[in-house]
Structure formats: structure tokens, C-alpha cells
Structure 1
Amino acid sequence: MNEFWETRYKSSSYAYGTKPNEFFKECIDKLKPGRLLLPAEGEGRNAVYAALRGWAVDAFDYSPAARKKALQLAGGACTTIQYETNTLQNFTAPANTYDLIGLIYAHMPSADRRAVHQRLISFLKPSGYLMLEAFHKEQLGRSSGGPQNSDMLYSRTDLLDDFKELEILKAEETYVDLREGAYHNGSACVIRLMARKK
């Protein structure tokens, strides 16, 4: 899997474009800037958008090629992000560090998902927010993006269980018309969640 992502991100073009995810943008634009964590951030499109709006951004991905392109994107936009090479399973941070954690298409096997999500909750400050957009299980077989493995796709029930200790502000399954580079393109079934730590 590491080789798959490294190959995808080594291309000179940005696999998912350079504009932020629409749901991420919508959420960021409504919140007061603070400290933000973006796990599995890829080539930096969301990190750079947030940094330009005054957020202190920490991001990571396990692809060195993705990190290199994210830092280039930030440099080209005359802004700064902190970006390390790491995995969803191994990244750690002090408790109560972040005002917002953004999970944008951060898919993982169900065997890892709940434990990763629990650790991320611990990184949030009290009253901090967690937002997520990911492909729903109904996305399976569609060509508009996402893992072609049901175990790595999400359902509303899964996420409400994973984040049950948070105050759920939004949890919807919906269809969107993705226009995010070459690999997220067309009608897609996604789940969107916004929650706040009590």
C-alpha cells in the first residue's frame, strides 16, 4: 500500500487537485482559527487552505512524495505548515492539543479504525472539533474514487459508534459531485461528520 501511494504522489500533477475539499472549506470558514491536525493529508491542499486563513497546521502522511509536494504547495502560496511522514496507526501527540482535527478521506481497515479514532479524540482540546468526510460503503463499485474494499469504507452507524463520546453536530450520508483532481471525479456517496469534544 505504501508503494501504491508513493507512486501516485510522485507524479508532477496533484492527484486530488490543489483546492480544498468543499466540506472542509465550509467548516474551516465558520471556525475561529486555532491549531489544526490533518492526518493522511496527502499533497497538502487542505493544509495550505487552512494555513492561509490563520490556522497553525500540523499534518502527516506516510508518503515522502506527498510531504514534498505539500511543502512545495505551501511555499508557492507563501505560507507555512508543519508536515511529517507518519501513519495513522503510529502518529502521536499530547492530549488536549488541537482545536480541530480534519479527516478527509482518511480510510483505514476496520481493525484499525476505532482505535485510531479514539486516539485522535484524545488529541482534541475540550470543546475542540472533529470533522470528517469519507466514502460511504455505498461507494463500492463506483469509479469516482475511494477504496474498492468494503472493509475500508464507512457507514453512519460505524462513525456514530466510534465518536459516541463527542457531541454530534452533523452526521449525514449524501451524494456529492466530486471535482478533486484526477482520482476524485464524478458522483460519489460520502459520509460527512462534524462533532465537538465535551
Structure 2
Amino acid sequence: MTPDEARAFWDGRYDDASYLFGERPNAFLERQADRLRPDMTVLAVADGEGRNGVWLARQGLKVTSTDISPKAVAKARALAARHGVEVDARVADLDRWDWPVAAFDVVVGIFVQFAPPDMRDRLFARMKQALKPGGLLLLEGYRPEQLGYGTGGPGQVENLYTEVLLRDAFADMEGVEVSSYDAEIVEGAGHVGLSALIDLVAVKPGPGAA
């Protein structure tokens, strides 16, 4: 899919007054609240209509939110305004975006599974690049078992995550925690029902790390 095709596809999915994945934050992200502090800088990758970026801003973080869809970004800005918070919501094709270097205390990627393996490798590398030394990475996605549930996510098995894939991709990080589990989720109309989830928490090595 070309960038123009991807933009048109996601604009079409977000072309509705309702929020496709709801307005509440992702449950995994919400469970990480104790790891977050006000005034941290955070990048919300492919943040769609802003549910996660706005929640992060409501916790006092300084949020940059990206998505390829202009319609999604407009809705993210509207959601932030309704909650009285500031979010730097930007339209960005993440495979072409000029990713900042060592700029963020936290990088969040929730269901960033539109990316086939070669693009995913680049995005994972750039997520790590964007973190400051000692920065926190929070990632959630679907496992291959999700194809049997059909309750959200891509239809391409190669876009889904396994524990081996994530541990290999982030082997250069510290404190890596990977959790696989099934859970009922309700995230708008886009993610509803029993889901095969996988979470990663990891820290970019700080100064002096081997």
C-alpha cells in the first residue's frame, strides 16, 4: 500500500462522527500509569483519533501524537480540546517522517500493526531512536491467535507479534517485560471481544551501558 493509499484507507475508516476505537485509553497503557510522571515528554505513534495521546496529556505529560490520517488528527485535536489539554497532533507518514533523536522520555505504540515486517523493523528501530537514554517504551499488539477471534486487528499473520519476535527486536534494551494473554476488550467499534494480546515494556539503556 502506497502512502497515499494508506492515507485514503485510514481517512475512510475515521470518516465518522464517532470514534472508531473509542475515546477511552487502551487498558494496557492505563495500567502503566505508575511508570509515568507529569512533564515527561511522550510520543504516541500512530495514535489515530487521539484516545491514548489525550489520556497521556490528562496525566500531565507533554504529548506528541502522530497519524497518517488527517481526519484522525483533526479528531484527536478536537478530543484534546474537549478535555482541556494540549496535544501536539501531527499528520505523519511514519516510514518517511523525520523521527526525532533521543527526544522523548516515553514512546507508546498501541496496535501499530498496519506495518508489514520490513516496515515494522524500521519503525521499531525509529521508536528506539526517538527515546532518550533511560527512556521507556510501551508497546501492545495482537498475537497470531487473534486471526481466530476476528475481533480487531489486521488480517495478515505476518503483521502480528510473537514473544520471540519482540524479544529479538528489543534485545538491545533493558528490563524487557513481555506478556501474552487473552482478554475481553471494548475499544469503540473497532476492537470488541475476546482478543489475543501481547504487551512489551522496555527501557533504553542509559549512559555508560555496555
Q: Give the structure-1-normalised TM-score.
A: 0.96
1:18 aligns with 2:27: no
Report the equivalent of 2:146: 139
Report the equivalent of 2:208: none
The one-letter code matched in structure 2 to 1:3 is A
Larger CA deviation: 22-31 vs 159-168 = 22-31
Alignment of 1:27-106 (within 5 A): 27-33=32-38, 34-106=40-112
The one-letter code matched in structure 1 to 2:59 is R
Which of 182, 185, 189 is equivalent to 2:196?
A: 189
Percent sequence identity over aligned pairs: 34
Q: Give the structure-2-normalised TM-score.
A: 0.91
Residues 54-96 of structure 1 deviation map (CA, whole Å, 9 limit, x = unaligned): 1000011000000010000000111110011112212233321
C-alpha contact 1:141 1:148 (8 A) present in aligned 2: no
Shift of 1:44: 0.4
Structure 1 segments of 4 or more deviating over 6 A?
none
Alignment of 1:97-176 (within 5 A): 97-107=103-113, 108-176=115-183
Q: d(CA) in 2 for partners of 1:69 and 1:98?
A: 24
Q: d(CA) in 2 for partners of 1:173 and 1:87?
A: 29
Shift of 1:8: 1.1
The one-letter code matched in structure 2 to 1:179 is V
C-alpha contact 2:163 2:180 (8 A) present in aligned 1: yes
Tell me the C-alpha RMSD between the 2 structures: 1.1
C-alpha contact 2:46 2:67 (8 A) present in aligned 1: yes
The one-letter code matched in structure 2 to 1:176 is A
Structure 2 residues not aligned, in runs of 5+: 1-5, 206-210
Structure 1 residues not aligned, in runs of 5+: none
